[in-house]
Structure 1
Amino acid sequence: MTDYDVLRVFCAPNGGYGNELGVVREGSVLPDREDRQDLAAKLGFGETVFVDDPERGIIDVYTPTRRLSFADHSCVGVAWLLDVPELVLPAGEVGTRLDGEFTWIEARAEWAPPCVFHRYATAAEVDDLPVPPAGDWIYAWAWEDEPAGRIRARGFPGRGDGVDEIEATAAPALLLTERLGRALNITQGAGSQILTAPQPYGWVEIGGRVFLER
């Protein structure tokens, strides 16, 4: 089996929760896209990253079923692992920075896949939501503290493939930040934390904690 690291991205302050990520640091061992897709399917992580050039930050990202042009939690995780000023993906160049316990990337909202936003009156309503039937990608959210920018959210991909809810994904957060035009502090899933901040010229920063699992 090809060597790989396992990270958790967008973790809570105590290091819990977050979304698992597989990273193959020596992408050259599997140069063929079909082989990479096969390995991503076997590993079964939401995303698996192949590092093609660790110094220039060139990476290639796959879900178990397809190749991605941009991947938010993969970029945050690999930015922490490689500590490089930028990452290069098919979608474009992603600026990165480390700031204490948080790792940040800079991305554009148009890189994120579309989703349907359902806003609720209270965080408790979001907590109590049942998993919706397969269909639209739904991002359910409510203000926990609007003046402070604190949001409670859950993400339901609606694919009907057994993944009913995604613990931590920043793609909808990227879109919501652009829509609201303000920095957000999001508690998503069972307890993951995602930070965002709008930047000039259509860019949005996404930040989170990363822990090495193995």
Structure 2
Amino acid sequence: MTVPESDGTQIEVVRVFTDAAGRYGNPLGIARATDVIDVDHQALAARAGYAETVVVEDPIDDRARMRIYTPAVELPFAGHPSVGAAWWLNAQLTPVTVIEVPAGPVAVEAADGLIWVRARAEWTPKFEFHQFDDAEELAALGPADFTAGAHYAWMYTNEPRGAVRARMFAPARGIAEDEATGGAAIALTALLRRSINITQGQGSQMFTAWDSEGWVRLGGRTVADHPVVI
């Protein structure tokens, strides 16, 4: 993939799904829609190189519209950008109760020190799930093992408590390995029909709650990183 040259756009960066100490987390690029009116959003995401970069409109009546891009494609919904953008809007003193994405309205709530979003599993990108029983086998996986598609490898570390260890590889979306994948967490929760606590990548943490009506709540911590010019 050829990455376009910089046009000097500044984006904010946050890390989503950190642990309790603010470590790890999946970087998210955030651009204000008013700053990128004449910018190719997909090219912007390719230059940024994060798993996702979002373009967020200014909130109106506690609602904000958002577009989501991987380095290669636009997504109708993704969990990590929804949680991260909701946290960022709150930090900008413009909190919202709903983020409008192409898939539908994503409800937002702050509770227990986490930002929670509510979405349907069918909104998430498609993943191929691979369940493991051996932690060493899961740890030995690498991007070279997957040449196409999007793959979520996971195992229970404590099934009664719903504790899960996971990794995600998505070459089809321009992502060699993702540090924390909210959409996959939502999809896995719906597949298992239970709430789970996921540790992914180096140590990022995600929390989910299953709703019997088919909705899933996804929660996590976010911290500010630093702005970049791309």
TM-score of the pair, normalised by structure 2: 0.85
| Distance apart, 1:160 and its partner CA | 9.1
| Distance apart, 1:159 and its partner CA | 3.5
Q: 1:43 aligns with which of 36, 48, 51?
A: 48
Render the CA deviation track for 1:77-100: whole Å, top value 9, x for unaligned: 011111211100111000011113
Q: CA RMSD in A?
A: 1.8
Q: Is the 8 A contact 1:98 1:104 kept in 2?
A: yes
The match for 1:57 is 64
| Distance apart, 1:18 and its partner CA | 1.0
The match for 1:31 is 37
Output the CA distance in 2 between the equivalents of 1:30 and 1:158.
27
* Unaligned ranges ≥5, structure 2: 1-7, 90-94
Output the CA distance in 2 between the equivalents of 1:135 and 1:43.
22
The match for 2:159 is 146
Q: Following superposition, which runs of at least 4 residues in structure 1 exceed 6 angstroms of deviation? A: none
The match for 2:28 is 21
Q: Secondary structure at the match of 2:178?
A: coil
Q: Secondary structure at the match of 1:165?
A: strand
The match for 1:195 is 207
Report the residue type matching 1:35 in the other structure.
Answer: D
Report the residue type matching 2:15 in the other structure.
Answer: R
| Distance apart, 1:117 and its partner CA | 1.2
Q: 1:73 aligns with which of 80, 84, 93?
A: 80
Output the CA distance in 2 between the equivalents of 1:49 and 1:30.
11
Render the CA deviation track for 1:104-163: whole Å, top value 9, x for unaligned: 1001111111111111113343223344131342211111001100011111214495x4
Residue 208 (structure 1) aligned with residue 208 (structure 2): no
Q: Secondary structure at the match of 1:61?
A: strand
Once the two structures are superposed, the pairs formed by residues 178-189 of structure 1 within 5 Å of their partners are 178-189=190-201
Report the residue type matching 1:38 in the other structure.
Answer: A
Q: Is the 8 A contact 1:134 1:160 kept in 2?
A: no
Residue 119 (structure 1) aligned with residue 124 (structure 2): no
Output the CA distance in 2 between the equivalents of 1:95 and 1:72.
12
- The more displaced of 119-128 and 1-10 is 119-128
- The more displaced of 129-138 and 96-105 is 129-138
